Every structure is written in structure tokens, then in C-alpha cells.
Amino acid sequence: MTSFKEMIEVNKQGQDVLLGPRDWQKFEGKCNYCEQETLEFSRGVSLRVYGGLVHCKSCDKTESPTNYFGKAMFPIQKMPDGALTFYLEELDKKKE
């Protein structure tokens, strides 16, 4: 039985192979995590339209183009202070 530490090391090696020898190109847009404009794109082996990886040089996050565009289209923002109690009170009123 393989240990958890061995599985992590194998997974890390697989990620290094995926991210290693790629042809990175500058990509216009803001990072979904740090909001810096330091993105790069690599199509990699796959020639599909949404195949490849989007990588941020600032925060070192990497994700698929589908995931990146999905988050960029529908940004999730933190609720303002006091909003949760307001909505919970409204739900209680509807239940009554």
C-alpha cells in the first residue's frame, strides 16, 4: 500500500511534467485570484479551443481556460456586512 507522502510526490512529478516544457504566451486579462495582469497561456498538446492552461506569474495559480473564463464571467464577491442577517430574517418571515 502506498503512503500518502508517496502519492503526493507522484502527483507533484505529474504536475511538473505538465507545467514544465510548455510554450507560454502572454495572455490579456486579470487573474481571478490576485487581479494582476500577469497571465500567460499555453495550449500544450491539446489543440482544442479551450485546451491548455492559464497561469498567473504573480500568485502562481494555474487553471484550465474553461475554469478561468467561468470564474471571470461570473465573479463571486463577498456579501456586505449585515447582509447575512438581513437575508436570514427574510427567510424566517417567509416561513411564517
Residue 73 has, within 13 A of its CA and on its CB side, a CA count of 6
| pLDDT greater than 70 at residue 82 | yes
Number of domains in the chain: 1
Name the one residue in this structure whose C-alpha cell is 495572455.
27
Residue 4 lies in a domain: no
Residue 15 forms part of a structural domain: no
Please, which pLDDT band fits residue 16 given cuts at 50, 70 and 90?
low
Domain that holds residue 82: 24-95
Residue 16 lies in a domain: no
pTM for the full predicted model:
0.55
Mean pLDDT of 24-31: 87
Q: Cell for 83? A: 447582509
pLDDT at residue 39, rounded to an integer:
92
Residue 28 lies in a domain: yes
Residue 29 lies in a domain: yes
The reply to whether 6 falls in a domain is: no
Q: Residue 20 has what pLDDT? A: 56
Q: Is residue 87 part of a domain?
A: yes
Q: Would you give the end-to-end CA distance of the chain in angstroms?
A: 55
